Amino acid sequence: MRVVHVEKNVKIAVYDLNPYGKRTILMIHGWPLSGKIFEYQQEVLVKSGFRVVTLDLRGMGNSDAPAHGYNYSRLATDIYQVVKALHLSNFTLAGFSMGGAIALRYMGLFDGYGVNKLCLLAAAAPCYTIRSGFPYGVKKQKLDDFIIQASTDRPSLCKDFSQTLLHAPHSDTVKDWFRDIALTASGIGTIGTAFSLRDEDVRPDMAKVTVPTAIFHGRQDKIVPFELGIVQHKSLPGSTFYTFDNSGHGIFYDELSTFNEWLLEFLNHE
């Protein structure tokens, strides 16, 4: 692990595997998790010759948890600072869930600096909640409930989230692993990013995406509805849509071998 100072007194934990790999993928986790969720992609990608960079968003994992900075623009700026610090170029940017929305903000805010491909993994985008002119996603009350629970009983929130993350049968130990990852997030980071999930809109950022893009989404997703993947596909002309019939939100684990196969297929496609 290395740390990158993204602003005064705020350090981001970065994990840089195979730094001399011929191609690079930067993977952004979702709410309220950490870079650990990509454990079962890292080995496969490294064996395929990739440099694999993951990080913990501010307020989560091993990164600092300041009192501020949980909006998408600040989180995207943190990623930009990591990209600059590691001198990344011609890399694939992959974002899971909220990380997908932040990846889109990065594309809009920084004109996709350094990115040559984009992967949206069960992305909570372009808007996670239903609003005027956008009848997709979840009701804002669901996020309000998350915020209340995070403010009063965050351990139960993390347990409930881990139980809903996956669709296919998995051991209690696996679910406990995801719960434990969620518990490494700070309370302030969990709540701050929940407000962003509820209120942010990355439709203007999507209009600036010009690189080859792949959308990965599970049809059984109970956290980020499958319809949002359809909206992304329609909004990004030329995008490739990988659908997982037997996956919930955790597509990177529910259909692990298929996910890794299709991810490599997209990464290796010229």
Q: What pairs with residue 4 in β-bridges? A: 12
User: Which residues neighbour 123 within 8 Å (Cβ) at sequence distance 6 or greater?
Assistant: 95, 96, 97, 99, 100, 101, 103, 104, 215, 217, 224, 228, 229, 232
Give catalytic status of residue 221 as yes or no.
yes
Catalytic-labelled residue, pool 56, 64, 78, 221: 221
Contacts with 60 (C-beta within 8 Å, 6 or more apart), sequence order: 29, 32, 33, 34, 184, 185, 186, 189, 190
Structure tokens at 175: 């679910």
Beta bridge partners of 129: 138
Task: Pick the catalytic residue from 29, 217, 233, 249.
Answer: 249
Q: Are strands 50-55 and 2-7 parallel, antiparallel or unpaired?
A: unpaired
Determine whether 63 is an active site residue. no
User: Known catalytic residue: 97?
Assistant: yes
> What separation in angstroms does the CA of 194 have from each of 11, 55, 164, 181, 204?
21, 19, 17, 17, 21
CA distances from 31 to 165, 207, 224 (A): 11, 24, 11
Out of 97, 162, 196, 247, the active site residue is 97
What residues are annotated to the active site? Answer: 97, 221, 249
